[in-house]
Every structure is written in C-alpha cells, then in structure tokens.
Amino acid sequence: MLSQKFYIGVEQADMRRFRANSWSDCGVIKVTQEGEAIAAIAQLLQRYLHQYVRLFSINPGTRQRGSGLVIQQPLEK
C-alpha cells in the first residue's frame, strides 16, 4: 500500500458486529515509512486485542477505498 502511495485505513469489529458486517472506523494511517506504519498498526492491534481488525487501502487523490484484509481475529474462548 505504501509503495503505491496509498493511505492505510483501519476498522475493527467485535464478534457480533463482525457477523453483521458492521465495522467501526479506527482512523487512517497517513505515513510514508514502512516502520512508522508497522508501529501504528501494532498499537491498534494492542488496543483492539480481542476484536477483528482489518486494513484497506485509500487512494489519497480520489479518496476511493480498496479491498480489505482482516489481519486479526479474536482468540477463541
């Protein structure tokens, strides 16, 4: 995403909202360095430790959203 000059959007959902496909916005990561992006994502993963988290690309010129990728799932109880 960064190599294509896209921003990184982040959303989270608990199990109930995940089943309903109702994600909550966690913000946009607007950095250019890979290390900064990884650090920001790591913080979000810790904040939403027991929830689903997904990333998606955002074209800064057109504000169009790209496809999403779930990068974290809650642990089974």
**What is the token pair recorded at 61?**
């010129």
pLDDT digits 0-9 by tens, 39-76: 999 999 999 999 999 999 999 999 999 988 999 998 76
61 to each of 17, 35, 71, how far by Cα in Å? 30, 23, 25
pLDDT bracket for residue 35 (50, 70, 90): very high
pLDDT digits 0-9 by tens, 12-27: 999 999 999 999 999 9
Confidence at residue 67, expressed as pLDDT on a 0 to 100 scale? 85
Helices (H), 10-73: 15-19, 34-47
Q: To 5 degrees, how large is the angle CA 21–CA 24–CA 26?
A: 140
The pTM of this model reads 0.87
Confidence at residue 1, expressed as pLDDT on a 0 to 100 scale? 84
